[in-house]
Amino acid sequence: MAKTINLTLHVWRQKGTQDKGRFEVYKAEGIDTDMSFLEMLDVVNERLIKEGKEPVAFDHDCREGICGACGAVVNGRPHGPMDKTTLCQLHMRRFKDNDTITIEPWRARGFPVVKDLVVDRSAFDQIMAAGGFISVKTGSAPEANTVPVRRQDAETAMDAAACIGCGACVAACPNASAMLFVGAKVSHFGLLPQGRVEAKERVRGMVARMDAEGFGNCSNHYECEAACPKGISVSTIARMNREYLSSELAE
């Protein structure tokens, strides 16, 4: 027999971009502790729908911790209290019976709230479009051994490529800075020989776009690294800073 718990939720409700928004209190009763956090919200929403009320809007897709769609600030922490875990992979066994849980959307000028817990993260798409890619000649796949990659570079690039673009770094940053995200992308591409070709334009383009989207400036609190569900290191920010300076000096 699965264990069940009762919870009190303080959930941010906001009708749309123009609405001021407010917290509303909901009871979540008989929650199976094997449920994920999103499944718990599903249960609450089922009840709200039955009562003829508007369900709580939240983003989700794969629910396997790899897509980057979900995310809310739970008790002050993006993706909740578990390290290196997305909200969909957070299970209710992490909470105690009669806990009160505060659920808020990502808060940043670059991520305006669309509805309730859903924020518009298209700013990240804009940043990616400003250089987060490699322009390759398409055609048949080249022989893999023609471009040697150092083992350490491959590993570090892969670590940076683990970024799922969920935006928890921005949500956690006291300055709502997106530098961990951009640092991860700059590292991911820039560490590989295929990405070196456009490294200078990439870092300049992505940083300019990041600034234009209204994100803040990193002041080295490293809250982003602690919040990141994929454990992206702040050394990616250091690499971005270094690459940015060298692109300026090369001008």
Residues near another protein (CB under 8 A): 10, 21, 23, 73, 75-77, 83, 102, 104, 107-110, 172, 174-177, 179, 207-208, 210-211, 214-223, 225-227, 233-235, 237-245, 248
β partners of residue 119? 113
CB of 226 to another protein, least distance (A): 4
**DSSP H/E element including 141:** none
CB of 106 to another protein, least distance (A): 10
Write the CB contacts of 143 (distance below 8 Å, at least 6 apart in sequence).
none
CB of 140 to another protein, least distance (A): 36
Place of tokens 């602690």: 226
CB of 121 to another protein, least distance (A): 15
| Residue whose CB is less far from another protein, 3 or 15 | 15
| Residue whose CB is less far from another protein, 19 or 34 | 19
| Residue whose CB is less far from another protein, 49 or 100 | 100
DSSP 8-state assignment for residue 106: -
| Residue whose CB is less far from another protein, 4 or 235 | 235
Provide the 3-class DSSP secondary structure of residue 114. Answer: strand
| Residue whose CB is less far from another protein, 61 or 248 | 248
CB of 89 to another protein, least distance (A): 17
CB of 134 to another protein, least distance (A): 22
How far apart (Å, rounded) are the C-alpha atoms in residues 122 and 62? 19
Provide the 3-class DSSP secondary structure of residue 6. Answer: strand
Residues 131, 134, 154, 147, CA torsion sign: negative
Torsional class of 176: left (φ above 0), alpha (ψ -120 to 50), beta (otherwise): left
| Residue whose CB is less far from another protein, 4 or 8 | 8
How far apart (Å, rounded) are the C-alpha atoms in residues 130 and 110? 16
| Residue whose CB is less far from another protein, 88 or 182 | 182
How far apart (Å, rounded) are the C-alpha atoms in residues 223 and 207? 20
CB of 32 to another protein, least distance (A): 25
Using CA atoms, how far residue 147 sits from 8, 69, 106, in Å, is 56, 34, 40
Residues in the chain: 251
